[in-house]
Structure 1
Amino acid sequence: MNNVLPPGQLETKKWPILHEGDAYKYDESTWSFKLFGAVKEEVTLDYNTVRNLPVTVSTVDMHCVTTWSKFDTTFEGIAFRDFVKLVELDEDVQFVKVYGFLNDDPYGYSANLPLKDLMGDDALFVYRWRDSSRDWADIRPKHGFPLRFIPPASFYLWKGTKWATAIEFLKEDKPGYWEERGYSMTANPFNEERFADKNNKPKGYFGADEWKDQ
């Protein structure tokens, strides 16, 4: 949390809502969270089990590829590292993909990330936040309830999967949903790593006009 505005970004006090597809309608009876991939044994958790994992509170900066940045937002959730503790990883696991609902597909959305950058308090699967009145509140469905991944501020926020459903552990980096559509694999906002090809905006790119009035 450095309150440093990356190049090309504009600060906002709001938390704009932008996402692909429809907002997921939470159903506790069918919801689950899976840990799979390069692990000794897959693990599947129901929501009560997830909510009983250790709680982490963290204050973070968020930077969206659509040019907004929001500083000092406090979240409550489960640290990424506490999910990692539930599985035994194979040797040489270096990357992950975090999956989430896209319309009715629980694995329709994904984002790739390097494992080594996700082991601190600033990589968090969140369910509550301090709202504008500074009171604790559940995050809204359109923000990703019941579980939304918030990545470190060294990644653009499309790496923060909404309606999160799974972590896949990988030995090699693989593109996620937006990466397959021309977005940067690394997505560092301070280097303006928005697109794989800096000279071409991918189809489906949203600019500042999409969020300024929210």
Structure 2
Amino acid sequence: MTKTLPPGQMETKKWPILHEGDVYQFNEETWRFKLFGEIREDVILTFKDVMDLPKVITTVDMHCVTTWSKFDTTFEGIPFREFVKLADLKPHVRYVRIYGYLNGDPLGYSANLPLEALQGDDALFVYRWKDAKNDWQDISPKHGYPLRFIPPAQFYLWKGSKWATGIEFMTENKPGYWEIRGYHMNGNPFKEERFADPASLPSGYGGANEWQDQ
């Protein structure tokens, strides 16, 4: 099957490592996953709670804003929709921010996404992977161990939070870590939505000086 590269992308067979901040060192005793925001009551999950959720195996394509694309990586993980089932959403929730560790802060990194786009098997909190050259293995600490969000292929990979720690449910589309710094609110690689139009940036946005992906 012929794959289509988004504009400005180059194919790689490797899985490059780029991240912001320190590599999180997993501690199961202190690790927690939080569901919060526009829901009736916050939900706090332990690592065991998360790993007891239903799982799927899915093969996906990844597109990094730094211009590499990797086709056909297979992941095992928990679908985003399984976490939604645990939250009693208030009316009009349409967006989420997915959080991850950044320099010791469990909510230091975030990325915004539309809720509707995350209901399939291609929106996944992953913990192990394989591809044509690699057998099943845990994702490495540098790739986001113990849990990393992989977004659907219609989003650049910075929307996939490493060292995932929670989901905030929102009625409005609020920017995450890189969006505040001038990245596009949508981040669709096929539309080459890398950076926001400066004229459209809300108050508080900074400049995008370099490309990074989680």
Normalised-by-shorter TM-score class? over 0.9
Q: Which residue number corresponds to residue 102 of structure 2?
A: 102
Matched residue type, 1:202: A
Aligned pair in 2 of structure 1 residues 206, 127: CA closer, same or farther (>3 Å)?
A: closer
d(CA) in 2 for partners of 1:59 and 1:190? 19
For residue 96 of structure 2, what is the amino acid of its counterpart? V
Does structure 2 retain, via aligned residues, the 8 Å contact 1:3–1:61?
no
TM-score, with structure 1 as normaliser: 0.92
Residue of structure 1 in register with 2:45 after alignment: 45
Runs of 4+ in structure 1 deviating by more than 3 angstroms, as ranges, are 131-134
**SS of corresponding position for 2:177:** coil
Cα distance in 2, alignment partners of residues 157 and 135 from structure 1: 22
Q: Aligned residue for 2:202?
A: none
User: Aligned runs of 1:117-136 on 2, under 5 Å?
Assistant: 117-131=117-131, 133-136=133-136
User: Deviation of residue 41 (structure 1)?
Assistant: 1.2
**How many residues are treated as equivalent by the alignment?**
207
**Is 1:204 matched up with 2:193?**
no
2:150, 2:198 → 1: CA distance? 25
> CA RMSD of the aligned region, Å?
1.9
Larger CA deviation: 132-141 vs 15-24: 132-141
Structure 2, unmatched stretches of 5+, are 200-206
**Compared with structure 1, are the counterparts of its residues 2 and 100 closer, same or farther at alpha carbon in structure 2 (3 Å cutoff)?**
farther
Which aligned pairs between 1:74-153 and structure 2 lie closer than 5 A?
Answer: 74-131=74-131, 133-153=133-153
Q: Identical aligned pairs, as a percentage?
A: 67
**Structure 2 residue 59 is the aligned partner of structure 1 residue 36:** no
1:181 is displaced (CA, Å) by: 0.2
CA distance in 1, matches of 2:152, 2:211: 22
Q: Residues 193, 2 of structure 1: CA spacing in aligned structure 2 closer, same or farther, 3 A cutoff?
A: farther
Letter in 1 for 2:208: P
- Indicate conservation of the 8 Å contact 1:3/1:72, yes or no: no
* 1:198, distance to aligned residue in structure 2 (A): 7.7
Q: How does 1:162-173 map to 2 (within 5 A)?
A: 162-173=162-173
Report if aligned partners of 2:58, 2:76 keep a CA contact under 8 Å in 1.
Answer: yes
Q: CA deviation at 1:133?
A: 3.9
Contact 1:2–1:61 under 8 Å retained in 2: no
> What SS is found at the alignment partner of 1:69?
strand
Amino acid at match of 1:105: D
